[in-house]
């Protein structure tokens, strides 16, 4: 904590932070994607959201930010840029991306299609499937 | 006029080799002489209107004969 005494704001949000699996950091240590909380014009503490949620939770970012984060995550997990993956790995990639909510973002079908090297119509066809 | 058709056959199954409804639909398109691209989420076929349009019923028939539960098809001009 940045102060010896627990600030009332910190005390108030601590249960929430625990529930979100987030982390409190000193305002001076805050990174760009941390959320600094201000009380009476003074930064009190910064909240670091869990890694996988960070892209989605950062409200100010353009929607593409969250999509790129997810694309990078999945590419990492599957071992290479999405357009170089095998047919079945690409399918796996789409399932993972979908499970992580990528298609909640505006324009995501276009961005995902381009990353995979397929057309957006194909992605729409896939999203239109019965389940 | 050249056309492009894209179709996705279901059920979408990513385990193991491509399902018969996908491979059979592809085979029907190939036999009709269309240029085919067998993609991860669907198959894209191109050709002259006179070649492509009459091939589509065969493609659909092959997909359902191969066990498809649903086929989504889109046809557009080849830009």
User: Which CATH number covers residue B46?
Assistant: 3.30.70.930
- State yes or no: cis peptide before B11, omega within 30 of 0: yes
Domain span at residue B59 reads 2-6+16-69
pLDDT confidence tier of residue A55, bands split at 50, 70 and 90:
very low
pTM (2 d.p.): 0.64
> What is the total count of domains within chain B?
1
> Does residue B75 form part of some domain?
no
- Is there a contact between B29 and B47 (Cβ–Cβ < 8 Å)? no
**pLDDT score for A114:** 94
Q: What is the interface pTM, i.e. ipTM, of the complex?
A: 0.79
Average pLDDT, chain B: 94
Residue B74 within any structural domain of the chain: no
Taking 80 as the threshold, does the pLDDT of residue A96 lie above it? yes
Any domain includes B76:
no
Helix (H, G, I), strand (E, B) or coil at A114: helix
A vs B: CB pairs below 8 A? 58
Q: How far apart are CA B2 and CA A114, in angstroms?
A: 23
Which residue ranges make up each domain of chain A? Answer: 8-49, 53-127
Instruction: Please tell me the distance from the alpha carbon of residue B79 to that of residue B65, in angstroms, as a whole number.
Output: 32
User: Does residue B11 lie in a domain region?
Assistant: no
Q: What is the pLDDT of residue A54?
A: 43
The verdict on a CB contact (< 8 Å) between A95 and B14 is: yes
**Domain for residue B20, yes or no?**
yes
Instruction: Tell me how long chain A is.
Output: 131
Give A51 or A104, the one with higher predicted confidence. Answer: A104
Contact A118 B72 (CB under 8 A): no
Q: Which residues make Cβ contacts (< 8 Å) with residue B48, sequence separation at least 6?
A: B1, B2, B3
Alpha carbons within 13 angstroms on the beta-carbon side of residue A49 total 13
CB contact under 8 A, B12 and A125: no
């Amino acid at each position: 904590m940045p102060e010896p005494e627990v600030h009332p704001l910190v005390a108030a949000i601590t249960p929430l932070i625990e529930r979100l699996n987030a982390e409190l950091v000193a305002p001076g240590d805050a990174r760009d994607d941390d959320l600094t909380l201000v009380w009476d014009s003074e930064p009190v503490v910064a909240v670091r959201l869990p890694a996988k949620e960070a892209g989605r939770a950062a409200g100010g970012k353009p929607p593409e930010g969250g999509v790129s984060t997810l694309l990078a995550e999945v590419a990492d997990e599957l071992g290479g840029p999405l357009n170089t993956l095998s047919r079945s790995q690409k399918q796996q990639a789409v399932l993972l991306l979908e499970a992580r909510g990528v298609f909640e973002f505006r324009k995501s079908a276009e961005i995902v299609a381009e990353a995979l090297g397929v057309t957006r119509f194909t992605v729409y066809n896939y999203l239109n499937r019965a389940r | 006029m050249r056309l492009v058709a894209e179709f996705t056959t279901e059920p979408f199954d990513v385990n193991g080799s491509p399902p018969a409804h996908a491979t059979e639909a592809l085979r029907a398109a190939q036999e009709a002489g269309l240029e085919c691209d067998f993609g991860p989420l669907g198959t894209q076929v191109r050709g002259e209107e006179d070649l492509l349009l009459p091939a589509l019923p065969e493609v659909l028939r092959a997909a359902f004969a191969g066990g498809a539960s649903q086929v989504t098809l889109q046809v557009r001009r080849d830009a």
